[in-house]
Amino acid sequence: MSEPEQGNGTPRSGVDDGAHRRLAPRPLNRPPVDPGQQAVFGRPHGVSGAFSADRPGLNGHSPVQLAPPPPEALSTAFGRPRGDDSTLLQRPPVDLAGEPEVEPVFWEGRPAGDAWRDPGASAVIGPPAVTEQPEGPKPEPAPGPQLSVPELLFGRRVKPAGLALLLAAALLVGAVGGIVGWLLGRADNPLTDGGVTLAEVKPGKERPVGSVADIAKRVTPSVVSIEFKGANVAGVGSGVVIDGKGYVLTNDHVVAPAVQDTSAKLTVVFTDGKRAVAQVVGRDSKTDLAVVKVEVDNPTVLQFGDSDELAVGDTVLAIGSPLSLSNTVTEGIVSALHRPVTAAGENGGPQVTYDAIQTDAAINPGNSGGALVDSSGALVGINSSIRTETGGSVGLGFAINGNYARKVSQALIRDGQVKHADMNVNVRSASAETAEGAQVQNVPEGGAAAAAGIVEGDVITRVGDRVVRNAAELTVAVRDREIGETVPVVLARQGRELTVQVTLRSD
């Protein structure tokens, strides 16, 4: 098949006359070489390789000369004979007649004891400077005179009778000293009496029912220590067994570090030393309560009491693990009731607000989540926080109201979460010369407060039968109600007192 033609139909140059048309190779373009550069860098005429033996040296000098041969006298004195490559450079000495002098070697046909002295080496080593001693049994030194015991002790000879007398005297002195010491020990001393026997009361101390010891004995088996340990967190809190299936009630801030750190593990430690891994059932960060569950057989359960029946001055006991000291019991009284407590949430979480029982029973870090029991041993509160300026207990401890803790824990066990009643209103604490309460800052649309007609600027002073003195007290008063319940709310508006009916909704 012929190559297509171009333009006027004339075949392109370089094609052959065969059946296959091909392009001819492109002509080489070889520019002329400068004669001056060729003279400097070109290969000399008659040289076919890269180097030549007769090529003159660099820059036109003569070829490189090697070192001159050694003088004839040195070659004759120190060189090998001509034509003889087997003769060693080091030759044995010769005598006056020209015969080689060969001295007998010192090893006498045996291999040298020194590894460096090789009999087959070219160099000959002369005999050692010290002549070899003849071999044979060496005479053993005669034993010297042996010292006797008197010579060893006194450096001179002593008669055996004298040594025996000395030994008897030493025994006599020892016996006399022992007898004198025994007699002195038996002597009368006005400050001691060797035959004294102290009286002992056989019956144990009588502990009436309801005493602190009796309550502690019954309650402590149901109060546990909760340990959490991970790569970045570690600590100890307390908890209370509230159900026979292994449910333990504690504070949310006790389990929160273990929940936030996936490497952490929760462990419940009972009073008898038994340990069990705990799983978080549910948390309520708004009220600082949480429930965990452990797999144990027949745990001791602490029953709830009625915290609404408490009165200021009632005796209470705080039980927990303060400063990692498990099974610690402290006693105090109820210092105040319905004390609203507010604290910051864990790691930026929602603010914690709860209705607290104030007590002067010593509470320290580690008591959190432990039990506050009344004089009958019933659970009336969950120890949660303290107020202090020193970091330790100063008699201002707070426990979450037992009735409210029971309500929240039941919801957590049933559903894993809890919902609270809410007015859906933002307030701040306000006080005036004639009144104090929670002043409304914002009323979101669609909330319970907006539906009841509460507006910005109103000051809420009462919810139902509970007086409201600040924002925290409004929160706990509303949460104490049920979702969907309609409650009268007293508020002050432009100098007038109004009562509105608010139907509470879920938060």
> Which residue in the list 253, 284, 326, 355 is annotated as catalytic?
253
> End-to-end CA distance of the chain, in Å?
91
CB 267 within 8 A of CB 219: no
Q: Would you tell me how many other CB atoms lie within 10 Å of the CB of residue 234?
A: 13
Would residue 288 show up in a list of annotated catalytic residues for this protein?
Answer: yes
CB 226 within 8 A of CB 248: yes
Helix (H) or strand (E) holding 186: helix 160-186
Would residue 368 show up in a list of annotated catalytic residues for this protein?
Answer: yes
Q: Which residues on neighbouring strands pair with residue 329, listed in sequence order?
A: 319
Q: Find, among 215, 221, 241, the residue nearest to 376 by Cα.
A: 215
> Which residue in the list 222, 225, 252, 288 is annotated as catalytic?
288
Give the span between the Cα atoms of 388 and 218, in whole angstroms. 31
Q: Would you tell me how many other CB atoms lie within 10 Å of the CB of residue 242?
A: 26
Would residue 326 show up in a list of annotated catalytic residues for this protein?
Answer: no
Q: What is the 3-state secondary structure (H, E, C) of 280-325?
A: EEEEECCCCEEEEEECCCCCCCCCECCHHHCCCCCEEEEEECHHHC
Q: Would you tell me how many other CB atoms lie within 10 Å of the CB of residue 43?
A: 12
- DSSP E strands: which ranges in 103-233? 223-229
Give the span between the Cα atoms of 233 and 210, in whole angstroms. 40
Q: Find, among 405, 503, 425, the residue nearest to 468 by Cα.
A: 425
> Which residue in the list 368, 385, 393, 409 is annotated as catalytic?
368
CB 232 within 8 A of CB 362: no
CB 242 within 8 A of CB 409: yes
Active site positions, annotated: 253, 288, 368
